[in-house]
């Protein structure tokens, strides 16, 4: 019995973890823009090679912005972001906007300040406001790029792609948008999982171009090096030399910022591919420590701890991931598996049913329900009547068979379908054996009546008369 079908969920979350966090800003950390925001003295060239309208920035605007930016940069360098600090930074930039209504860069930094603490709702509103402002169109593109990241972290990949594409079209030098689009292409490569496929090769070529462009703009972008490393981890099964190239790129990123959460998550994937599971778990855990709201790293750590049967730790990881993304299918299933391991069968079943609602076309929920009924619930019948107990157990095996049969109708690998077939065959075999046992019990002659035991001396009768 396995905790997940062929580790489908592990590989989907882990290797696709390659498309997780992307540079939210101009080459900055995955949850915000660069640590030292500035107002460019000269606007960069947009992608089509033409210069945008020149945006004049007054001395007062520049001074007020840099005063707020100094607080942000100091807090960022110290790594002391909490809700109070994020609100303070946002308020400082909001004050700049109030004094200078056309300073889009300040409004963008309002959103960035909120995003440092994962206050996504407030950040989203701030970026949307920046996009509506009549000022610098390139800074509006920055807001679109950052908004794309927020949608991506909420599991809305299509919306993220739309925003990143708009941002990249408006400003081809937006590192975050380029990394985001490349990361989506890496995720698509993972789904294809065939380096010989023509589309796989096209995706790889384009992702390399985007990441190289990002490094051309910002040579110290740890986010770009991280994404590049994950790109080379795709196709490693067919060419293990790709893992060596991936490691070189990750090490380049490590020289820039060793504590960057997505870099640690990528190292976890690398060590997993190398078969060093303890090192993989240490890297995933380091990513979670660096960013407690990093969903993909939590899922990867949770799935790996399921392998180690550390169900309490896995439960915590998946629960925390679901606080950020309540409809994350992998986390829902993983939490169910952890609960099952802890003996909470009702809790596990509740999670699997929730997963069915979240994604009816996926198969993991049905497979795990089959395992739950076949290997756990079928042995929990407690009827004192032996025939009724066997009949109840038989019904559970039939229900398990139905779950495995439902899984067969879902899109899954040939190996997983074969395992489902094996489980169906096992259920059929046990149901047949129980039929024989039930029939034997029904046809067995009743046990002969047993004579009542004689009462103990002096019991049930008067005492003999005393002799004279």
Task: Give residue-wise pLDDT tens across range 117-175.
Answer: 888 899 999 999 998 888 667 778 889 999 998 888 777 899 999 999 999 998 888 99
What is the mean pLDDT of the segment spanning 57-68? 84
CA–CA dist 76, 12 (Å, integer): 33
For the whole model, what pTM was predicted?
0.77
CB atoms within 10 A of CB 449: 6
Model confidence band, residue 24 (pLDDT cutoffs 50, 70, 90)? very low
pLDDT for 135 equals 67
In a domain, 405, yes or no: yes
**Beta-carbon count within 10 A of 402 CB:** 16
Asked if residue 309 is part of any domain, the answer here is no
- Flag whether 240 is in a domain: no
The total number of structural domains that make up the chain: 1
Backbone dihedral region for residue 389 (phi beyond 0: left; psi -120 to 50: alpha; all else: beta) = alpha
What share of the chain has pLDDT > 90, as a percent? Answer: 61
With respect to residue 410, please indicate whether it lies within any of the assigned structural domains. Answer: yes
Cα-based distances in Å from 324 to 24, 200, 286, 311, 320 = 18, 31, 18, 20, 7
* 3-class DSSP state of 6: helix
Average pLDDT, the chain: 83
Q: What is the pLDDT of residues 271-311, one digit of tens each?
A: 999 999 999 999 999 999 998 889 999 999 999 999 999 99
Taking the chain, what is the end-to-end CA distance rounded to the nearest angstrom?
Answer: 81
**CA–CA separation, 87 and 85 (whole Å):** 5
Lookup: tokens for 378: 């079928």
Q: Answer yes or no: is 389 within a domain.
A: yes
Cβ atoms of 260 and 223 closer than 8 Å: yes
CA distance 303 to 460: 69
Q: Within a domain: residue 342?
A: no
User: Rg (Cα) of the chain, in Å, rounded?
Assistant: 30
Give residue 77's pLDDT.
81
Residues 357 and 378: their CA atoms lie apart, in Å, by 25
In-domain check, residue 303? no
- Tell me, yes or no, whether 212 lies in a domain: no
Domain of residue 412: give its range. Answer: 372-443
């Amino acid at each position: 019995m396995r905790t997940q079908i062929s580790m489908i969920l592990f590989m989907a979350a882990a290797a696709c973890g390659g498309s997780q966090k992307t540079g939210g800003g101009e080459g900055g950390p995955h949850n915000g823009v660069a640590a030292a925001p500035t107002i460019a003295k000269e606007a960069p060239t947009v992608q089509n090679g033409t210069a945008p309208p020149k945006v004049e920035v007054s001395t007062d605007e520049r001074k007020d912005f840099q005063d707020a930016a100094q607080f942000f940069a100091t807090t960022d360098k110290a790594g002391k972001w909490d809700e109070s600090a994020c609100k303070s930074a946002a308020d400082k930039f909001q004050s700049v906007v109030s004094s200078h209504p056309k300073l889009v860069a300040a409004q963008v930094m309002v959103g960035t300040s909120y995003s440092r603490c994962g206050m996504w709702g407030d950040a989203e509103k701030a970026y949307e406001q920046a996009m509506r402002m009549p000022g610098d169109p390139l800074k509006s593109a920055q807001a679109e790029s950052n908004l794309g990241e927020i949608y991506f972290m909420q599991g809305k990949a299509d919306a993220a792609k739309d925003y990143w594409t708009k941002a990249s079209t408006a400003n081809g030098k937006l590192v975050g948008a380029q990394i985001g689009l490349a990361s989506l292409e890496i995720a698509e490569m993972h789904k294809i999982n065939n380096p010989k496929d023509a589309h796989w090769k096209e995706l790889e070529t384009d992702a390399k171009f985007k990441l190289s462009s990002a490094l051309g703009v910002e040579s110290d972008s740890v986010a770009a090096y991280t994404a590049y490393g994950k790109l080379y981890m795709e196709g490693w099964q067919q060419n293990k030399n790709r893992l060596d190239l991936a490691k070189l790129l990750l090490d380049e990123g490590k020289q820039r910022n060793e504590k960057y959460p997505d870099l640690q998550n990528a190292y976890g994937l690398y060590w997993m591919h190398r078969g060093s599971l303890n090192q993989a778990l240490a890297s995933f855990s380091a990513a979670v420590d660096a960013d407690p709201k990093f969903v993909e790293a939590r899922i990867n750590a949770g799935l790996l701890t399921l392998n180690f049967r550390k169900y309490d730790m896995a439960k915590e990881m998946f629960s925390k991931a679901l606080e950020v993304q309540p409809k994350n299918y992998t986390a829902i299933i993983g939490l169910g598996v952890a609960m099952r391991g802890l003996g909470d069968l009702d809790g596990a079943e509740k999670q699997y049913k929730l997963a069915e609602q979240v994604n009816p076309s996926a198969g993991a929920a049905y497979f795990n329900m089959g395992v739950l009924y076949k290997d756990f619930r079928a042995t929990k019948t407690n009827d004192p009547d032996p025939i009724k107990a066997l009949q109840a157990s038989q019904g559970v095996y039939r229900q398990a068979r139905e779950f495995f049969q439902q899984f067969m109708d879902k899109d899954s690998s040939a190996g997983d379908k074969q395992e489902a077939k094996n489980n169906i065959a096992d259920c059929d075999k046990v149901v047949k054996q129980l039929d024989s046992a039930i029939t034997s019990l029904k046809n067995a002659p009743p046990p002969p009546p047993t004579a009542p035991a004689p009462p103990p001396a002096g019991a049930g009768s008067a005492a003999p008369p005393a002799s004279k």
